[in-house]
Every structure is written in C-alpha cells, then in structure tokens.
C-alpha cells in the first residue's frame, strides 16, 4: 500500500506538455505521490 501525501490545493501552470524538456515523467511521479483535495490547471497545459 502506498501512502500519498494529502494536500489541500495544487496549482499547476505553464506545463507545456508535448515540448522537449517538459518534465512530464517528473510531473506524473509528483501527481502519483499526492492526494490533492483541489487540483487547478492554470493554462498552458499542452503545447503542440
């Protein structure tokens, strides 16, 4: 069983997923390690 860190609010901005150097793997690892009550995606999520 994996314990996830409980957080109230996570705000992610300017991720630019789809570009070289976007750190998608690190982002996925972080999101898998937390349990946010609220997740806010604040623009520039994808960049193609």
pLDDT for 48: 73
DSSP annotation of 19: S
Q: What is the mean pLDDT of the chain?
A: 94
Question: Is there a contact between 17 and 45 (Cβ–Cβ < 8 Å)?
Answer: yes
Portion of the chain with pLDDT greater than 90, in percent: 90
pLDDT for 24: 96
Helix, strand or coil, per DSSP, at residue 15: coil
Q: Residue 39 above 80 pLDDT?
A: yes
Higher confidence at residue 38 or residue 2? 38
Average pLDDT over residues 27-37: 97
- In a 13 Å sphere around the CA of 36, the CA atoms on its Cβ side amount to 11
Alpha helices in the chain (DSSP H): 24-33
Q: How far apart are CA 48 and CA 33, in angstroms?
A: 27
């Amino acid at each position: 069983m994996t314990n996830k860190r409980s957080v109230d609010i996570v705000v992610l901005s300017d991720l630019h997923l789809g570009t070289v150097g976007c750190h998608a793997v690190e982002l996925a690892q972080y999101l898998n390690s937390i349990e946010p009550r609220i997740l806010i995606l604040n623009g520039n999520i994808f960049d193609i």
